[in-house]
Amino acid sequence: MAATSTRIGVAGLAVMGKNMALNIAEKGFPVSVYNRTASKVDDTVQRAKAEGNLPVYGFHDPKSFINSIQKPRVVLILVKAGAPVDDTINTLLPFMETGDCIIDGGNEWYETTERRQKAMAELGLLYLGMGVSGGEEGARNGPSLMPGGSIDAYKNIEDILLKVAAQVSDSGPCVTYVGEGGSGHFVKMVHNAVEYGDMQLITEASDVLKSAGKLSNQEIHEVFSEWNRGELRSYLIEITAHIFGVKDDKGKGYLVDKVLDKTSLKDNGRWFVQQAAELSVSAPTIAASLDARYLCGLKGERVEAAKVYQSAEFGEEVNKEKLINDVKQALYASKICNYAQGMNLIPAKSVEKGWSLKPREIARIWKAGCVVQGVFLERVRKAYDTNPDLVNLLVDPEFAKEMMQRQSALRRVVCVAINCGVSTPGMSASLAYFDSYRRERVATSLVQAQLDYFGAHTYERIDTEGSFHTDWIKIVKRMNE
């Protein structure tokens, strides 16, 4: 029980809530904690004691939890997105007052956040939808925070967020007020979509090395460890290096080979792809990464298909050293395409919603704390710093130079993968995205001609302004007479 009022309450004490509470307390802000299942409250308080008597105060009932927080109260909810957030709000609401603030730190759909913001505003409560990224480690030691919604609510707790977020020496804490409405959760959705892309591309790189290059797990561990010292240095490359070094504790060999080839997924990738389609933003790398998760989920069907195609033989002699270097370049080039697509959704949505989102700031707060953190994000930040209205990362002069240097390697890796029967949907989609974007004239003229042929959909000409229709059928008939 708190002797004096705490600054903030955390409701929901699974991986994220528990670690965020400990982080907040460690930064000097006494915190009240509550969870539907009481044992998690006790566990969190125990952890706080064990980690240096941190000021974490546990409550088993919602009334005393809310009453323990100083007014205006701030409650950070970290439970499963969707109905559990509504349930938690409804449990706490009877004890909250005008001016109090609720922050949802989960991975919520931004429109749901906007619905709750409106409902809370009608009750005189402030509401923030705050993306939190970094998993257990980030939540405990410094996550990337993406708060959006009531600016007054943000101001109430800015001092806490600035201290709790990951700290970057050259660009400050990984938190910024993202914008109005559900923009914080929208930006978190984009983060997670780029995360899908990064994870898929890294996975493809390791597959090409293993299946085409015949590298052992130990060799892949060493390759990724080496890559983590250069331009690819990032959390995901680092953990990949670690994963390939871990032996199976339940049998022979490496643990990664025993993990079932079926990826779990929640909603963020699908939401992103749906939003990209609605806003006509091309995002094939991310869509391919989502598709890859759907396809790998068909484990039973794949087992049967493998029997049908077991006699199919693919292969290509490769030079190991050259392949390793090519895959590194291909991964970096594909990564540029992945971020170009992810970042492009931000201005598109910002215009639609009038949010004034700042891609530069978003890249800055992803530099540390979150799953996609890495040196690459400083490059993205710099690109938008140089040109805040940049239409695509591919035309930033520095990224363009890097694409030019790496495109041949990307082509070679995709060819090797194709010849060896290794699927690289993310890299292939990235290359197609690049090749479509970089060409002044693409073959789409034919699609428009077909549309005009069968449906009189008209077309524009390259040499004259206006809308044209040709009676193609009549002309073809005449030609054949």
Ligand X SMILES: NC(=O)C1=CN([C@@H]2O[C@H](COP(=O)(O)OP(=O)(O)OC[C@H]3O[C@@H](n4cnc5c(N)ncnc54)[C@H](OP(=O)(O)O)[C@@H]3O)[C@@H](O)[C@H]2O)C=CC1
Ligand Y SMILES: O=C(CO)[C@H](O)[C@H](O)COP(=O)(O)O
Query: Footprint of ligand X on residues 90-129 (CB under 6 A)?
Result: 106-107
8 Å CB contact between 183 and 148: yes
Residue 187 vs 323, nearer CB to ligand Y: 187
Per CB under 6 A, 133 contacts ligand Y: yes
Residue 105 vs 359, nearer CB to ligand X: 105
136 is catalytic: no
Q: Of 195, 204, 361, 402, which is the active-site residue?
A: 195
Q: Which of 33, 189, 30 is nearest to 108 (CA)?
A: 189
Q: What φ, ψ does residue 468 adopt, rounded to 5°? A: -125, 150
Those residues with Cβ within 8 angstroms of residue 322's Cβ, 6 or more apart along the chain or in another chain: none
The two structure tokens encoding residue 199: 């994870």
8 Å CB contact between 289 and 197: yes
195 is catalytic: yes
> What is the Cα–Cα distance from 301 to 307, expressed in whole angstroms?
10
Report the nearest approach of ligand X to the CB of residue 107 (Å).
4
Q: Is 15 annotated as a binding residue?
A: yes
Residue 55 vs 106, nearer CB to ligand Y: 106
Per CB under 6 A, 350 contacts ligand X: no
The two structure tokens encoding residue 277: 């389609």
- Compute CA 207 distance to the chain's CA centroid, rounded to the nearest angstrom: 22
Report the nearest approach of ligand Y to the CB of residue 43 (Å).
21
Report the nearest approach of ligand X to the CB of residue 417 (Å).
30
Query: Footprint of ligand Y on residues 238-297 (CB under 6 A)?
Result: 264-266, 268-269
- Compute CA 412 distance to the chain's CA centroid, rounded to the nearest angstrom: 28
Query: Footprint of ligand X on residues 24-83 (CB under 6 A)?
Result: 35-37, 40, 78-81
Q: Which of 8, 10, 16, 101 binds ligand X (CB under 6 A)?
A: 16
Report the nearest approach of ligand X to the CB of residue 88 (Å).
5
> What is the Cα–Cα distance from 290 to 342, expressed in whole angstroms?
13
> What is the Cα–Cα distance from 410 to 426, expressed in whole angstroms?
11
Q: Which of 220, 204, 243 is nearest to 424 (CA)?
A: 204
Per DSSP bridges, beta strands 74-77 and 8-11 are parallel
Q: Is 184 annotated as a binding residue?
A: no
Residue 350 vs 373, nearer CB to ligand Y: 373
Residue 35 vs 133, nearer CB to ligand Y: 133
Those residues with Cβ within 8 angstroms of residue 329's Cβ, 6 or more apart along the chain or in another chain: 405, 406, 409, 410, 413
Per CB under 6 A, 189 contacts ligand Y: no
Identify the helix (H) or strand (E) that includes residue 406: helix 397-420
Q: Which of 333, 311, 357, 324 is nearest to 430 (CA)?
A: 333
Q: Of 18, 188, 210, 328, which is the active-site residue?
A: 188
Report the nearest approach of ligand X to the CB of residue 11 (Å).
8
Residue 35 vs 285, nearer CB to ligand X: 35
Count the residues of the shown chain that bind ligand Y, applying the rule CB under 6 A. Answer: 11
Per CB under 6 A, 84 contacts ligand X: yes
**Which residue is at the shortest CB distance from ligand Y?**
133
- The annotated binding site is made up of 12-17, 35-37, 79-81, 107
Mind telling me the catalytic residues? 188, 195
- The annotated binding site for NADP(+) is made up of 12-17, 35-37, 79-81, 107
List residues binding ligand X (CB under 6 A). Answer: 12-17, 35-37, 40, 78-81, 84, 87-88, 106-107, 132-133, 135
